[in-house]
Structure 1
Amino acid sequence: MKKPKYLFPLITFLLSFGCALFVAMKVFPNNPFSHTKTKQETTLLDKIQDGDIIFQTSESKQCEAVRIATNSKFSHCGIIYKINGNLFVFEAVQPVKLTLLTDWIQHGKGQKYVVKRLKNADTVLKPETLQKMKDYSQQFMGKEYDAFFEWDDTRIYCSELVWKIYKNGAGIELSKLRQLKDFNLSDERVQKIIKERYGNDIPLDEKVVAPSDLVDSALLKTVIDTY
């Protein structure tokens, strides 16, 4: 039997496409052709809501100083947004950005984390309020991380970002603001960081909010605690 004229080119094309697709799936695991939600992602989608706040322990020298100064195991936090069916953490790092939740969890010590939620979230965080929070958040996207913990919006740090989104997007103050001098600044590890940041001109009266202030907020309840 005479073989069709275009059979060989067709087979070659299919084999080439199959190989390319296989490589893409291996090299780019988040490729839309290959990505399926893991069991962890599915579980988190079931448990987490738009606007939840997540906390973790980070291991940098600055984060160690934050934990000591605030007498808390938590040194980093962010706000969770559901976008196109995926969970992201909007966080103030360098720079401020959206991070896939499963990646964010991997960055913490022991991959441990706590998720908190407004006690009255079902009545307060309506879709229009959440959208207002997201719209307000956009002004911070790409801004530099604030290692000096200043209260203006030129640069921004993690707990400041979350506090301001809730205040200006939902009209909710998650905690009272404190001053830098209210924290434990006597430890030599804290003093070393302060000296590096400010020299001898320490802004003791600067308004500050720490991850510990948010995690201890009376307005929040615990949704997930993996510690």
Structure 2
Amino acid sequence: MNKSIFQNNQRANQALMHSQINRNIMRNNLNADPNIKPEEIVVESDNMQQTIYINPNQDYQKVIPQVIMPSVFKGNRQQLKQLTGIMLKKSPHFIQGFQKKYCILDNRKLSYYNHEKKNLLEGSLNFDLQEYQYFEQRNSENKIIEFRLIPKGCEKQFIFKNEKIQETQIWAETIQEHLNLSNGRTKQMTFLSKTPKFWKHYQFSNLQVQEDCDNGDIVLFKSKDRFASAQRILLNSEFDHVGILYKENQQLYVYEAVQTGVGTFRWDYLKQQEWYKFYEKVCIRKLNYPQKNDYGVQKRFLDFINENLGNDYSLNIGKFFRFTSTIQKSSDSQKGEKKRSYFCSELVAKAYKEMGLLDQVKSSTQYYPNDFTQEKQLQLLQGATLSPEYLVIFEG
């Protein structure tokens, strides 16, 4: 089967027209044009990729377009050099000077970590989500001895060098290659610079969340209103709300407990309805669990979602002092009883209990939004872990 890739619909429309003509000929018992062969046509645009399979020898009803969302981070398909190693980064505190960092440059993203604890992220610069200005300092021999990255629209500077000038030169030249081929530069993106300390997290596009996230992943919200600010102080948490993600018919949803009760909404509404503007920050933590897709685990999780939709919301002083779980088996005599009410983090904890990821004895009321942040390092069971926090970018 022939395959063609186009940046607009012109070729696809032409092929569909030829195929339709051929099928009309066949319906009238005439000979079909032998030069029109089955083919696969891929039409690409900024937001989607449409694959159309055309076979003029099939009935029209059997020709079904298939829509596929591509990776929003595929960017330029050219392979770029990856670098890893120890670099010296200048501290924002003058007295500390340059400090060792373990750095990874890959796929138009520069991340740096604690040089001893290489899994402890200290900063991440995603060139596909923000335009960066590049500056360098050279010595008398015209060798690069230091380079700076400045997010456009922001005063923050990221200054790097290496103890070996040759290594500094390699890193500087390779970073320029990544910058030149990044979406941040070609599309002149500057909205990320408006987010306070955005580099403290990995960054996800809201479309990438839709594509990559699945059942059991965590979403954390930091609201802008004053009530939420007071709530964060009360709960000693950077975030005032937490929900859990699930997919249904390839659509991603947020399952949460809010003042109107336990409910759900489509993830893409955050962007479409501009709900994200009510939040100072939204972060994702992906659930890494070997048995995540096990039928039994998924059934218990989805059953829990369906059984508790519409339940009431509650946050009261009594819940703060309920330290052990009150596990009850359902029975016919309990069907008429009032359904359980939930606080947001209590709902998420209970969902994880249903998946077998949290201690059944500890009460779900003893989990707060802060317990699901990377700072608290929540210990899950059965080898499950939560990823670092990914800052979600909705603009652009």
- Report the TM-score, using the length of structure 1 for normalisation: 0.60
Deviations 1:150-197 (A, max 9, x none): 367631111000000110x2111189958xxxxxxxxxxxxxxxxxxx
Large movers: runs of 4+ above 6 Å: none
1:57 is paired with a residue whose SS is strand
2:347 to 148, 154, 161: 161
Q: Distance in 1 between matches of 2:249 and 2:389?
A: 22
Write the mapping of 1:197-216 to structure 2, written as runs, cut at 5 A: 207-215=365-373, 216=376
Change (3 A) 1:87 1:111: farther
Paired letter, 2:301 = M
Q: Distance in 1 between matches of 2:298 and 2:242?
A: 18
RMSD: 3.3
Say whether the 8 Å CA contact 1:47–1:223 is kept in structure 2: no
Say whether the 8 Å CA contact 1:174–1:214 is kept in structure 2: no
Say whether the 8 Å CA contact 1:114–1:222 is kept in structure 2: no
Relative contact order (C-alpha < 8 Å, sep 6+): which is higher? 1
1:123 match:
291
1:171 match:
356
Change (3 A) 1:223 1:125: farther
Write the mapping of 1:23-34 to structure 2, written as runs, cut at 5 A: none
2:283 to 105, 109, 114: 114
1:142 match:
310
Change (3 A) 1:176 1:101: farther
1:190 match:
none
Change (3 A) 1:158 1:104: farther
Q: Distance in 2 between matches of 1:102 and 1:213?
A: 26
Q: Measure how far apart 1:223 and its partner are.
A: 5.9
Aligned length: 163
1:222 to 388, 391, 395: 388
Say whether the 8 Å CA contact 2:223–2:280 is kept in structure 1: no
Change (3 A) 1:64 1:56: same
Say whether the 8 Å CA contact 1:166–1:174 is kept in structure 2: no
Change (3 A) 1:91 1:77: same
Q: Distance in 1 between matches of 2:257 and 2:270?
A: 12
Q: Distance in 2 between matches of 1:125 and 1:108?
A: 33
1:51 match:
216
Q: Distance in 2 between matches of 1:174 and 1:222?
A: 22
Q: Distance in 2 between matches of 1:67 and 1:47?
A: 29
Say whether the 8 Å CA contact 1:88–1:100 is kept in structure 2: yes
Q: Distance in 1 between matches of 2:349 and 2:213?
A: 19
1:65 match:
230
Q: Distance in 2 between matches of 1:176 and 1:115?
A: 27
2:12 match:
none
**Structure number with larger C-alpha Rg:** 2
Q: Measure how far apart 1:42 and its partner are.
A: 4.5
Q: Measure how far apart 1:54 and its partner are.
A: 0.5
Q: Distance in 2 between matches of 1:175 and 1:154?
A: 17
Q: Distance in 1 between matches of 2:280 and 2:296?
A: 33
1:87 match:
252
2:103 match:
none
1:51 is paired with a residue whose SS is coil
Q: Percent identity?
A: 24
- Report the TM-score, using the length of structure 2 for normalisation: 0.36
Unaligned runs of 5+ in 1: 1-35, 179-205
Greater percentage in helix: 1
